Amino acid sequence: MTLFVIDYEWMPISVKFFEIAEAKTNFSAVFLWKKADFVNGGASAKAITLDDTSKISVDIVRHVVNIEGGRFVVQDGDQFWISEYLIDVKDMPKQGMVAELYPLESRWAVYNPSGCDIEFDRETTFTNHIFEDIQAVGVYFANYEFIHAVTMFTFDNFQFYATNHSASPELSPSSDLKGIAIDSKGHFIDTDASFFGDVTTNGTTLRVHPFDQLDIRGVITVDSNHVGKEGEIIIVVGYKPFSLAEESFFMFDHQGNVLRWDENIANLVAIQEKETLIKEQKSVIQNIVLAPERRVQLIPTTLSVFREDETTFADILLGCAERPALYSGIIGLTGYLRIFYGYRLKEDNTIVFNSKSIDLIIEE
């Protein structure tokens, strides 16, 4: 509930507020999710840290009235930090927006909310900070000016991806790290690219349950001749139910949709064609430029049409049918799963991918 003060008496915003010309309000709010409520093993992890695949995001939806902006907040140990990155809602489209930050690309300022005093001092100095023991994460919104008007906003779907330091199964190097490269005509060509990203337990394929929450990431050491060139990220999944002999292949487009793949490389679509960078404290969307090493989030990934029936991997929906859901890392089916990932060069459509798939057996 949003409240305001008249003669030191708290009361809901009402008609009386507009009858009193001198009644004015400002607004600050911070919403935090504690480590004890983190999923994917985060609650029990020895430590939560950040790397260059880490991301914080929130959906700003419907009404935004008299909000100057927002920032992301992270508690590291006992100290809160607030992002220099500003969630700018001034020109937000009517359908809303997704605000997201790769936290290593922002500077941070010490933030000390206390009791009802939670307004952030915008004169505070921002510095680079290394997060070593994340205890909470959240989002802050504010309107600093006292005004005779209503303040209103709606948000949902807050997400935080980070590194979980625990004894749970982690990515281990494949026995064959070398990548495979195929040109636009389907011919194999030489590459010195390599990949890191098997999910194994004591050298065997990892067995998981349908509703286990998974966090699988891969690392690409980009071909030395491709560094600095523009590329696109590709993920392909092979799925075979226990009841069928034939394996089907699926790919993800840049909107997170699951599409059946006919195994023709000319029809292969990319899950990520562009990336968002923070430049001079502004979000800039540009084509992906391949660095020597590229990290890829494989599971969970954003899926907007993902439903389950007895045989089809492309038909999983985690959520209600009326509203597509964000995939949380829960597979929700049984069978054999193989994950391939890599990149495609924009200049000549050369595809480079892992020679050994990441394999899962999902069973009740």
pLDDT of residue 15: 66
Distance CA 193, CA 182 (A): 12
pLDDT of residue 300: 58
> Higher confidence at residue 190 or residue 8?
190
Q: Phi first, then psi: give them for residue 84, nearest 5 degrees.
A: -70, -30
Token pair listed for 249: 């292949």
pLDDT of residue 137: 97
Find out whether 250 and 237 touch, Cβ atoms under 8 Å: yes
Distance CA 112, CA 134 (A): 16
Q: Which of 86-90, 164-168, 199-203 has the highest mean pLDDT?
A: 86-90
Distance CA 24, CA 66 (A): 12
pTM of the complete model: 0.51
Token pair listed for 5: 């003060």
pLDDT of residue 81: 97
Q: How much is the average pLDDT of 78-97?
A: 84
On the question of pLDDT at 271 being above 90, the answer is no
Query: Residue by residue, what is the 3-state secondary structure of 197-237?
Result: CEEEECCEEEEECCCCECCEEEEEECCCCCCCCEEEEEEEE
Question: What residues are paired with 216 via a beta bridge?
Answer: 299
Residue 300 DSSP one-character state: S
On the question of pLDDT at 283 being above 80, the answer is no
Average pLDDT, rounded, for the chain: 77
Tens of pLDDT, residues 183-228: 988 899 999 998 876 554 444 567 777 766 666 777 888 999 999 8
What percent of the chain stands above pLDDT 70?
A: 75
What percent of the chain stands above pLDDT 90?
A: 27
pLDDT of residue 197: 67
pLDDT of residue 19: 77
The b/e string for 167-206 (b: 16+ C-beta within 10 A; e otherwise) is eeeebeebeebebbbbeeeeeeeebebbbbbbbbeeeebb
Q: Residue 90 corresponds to which amino acid?
A: K
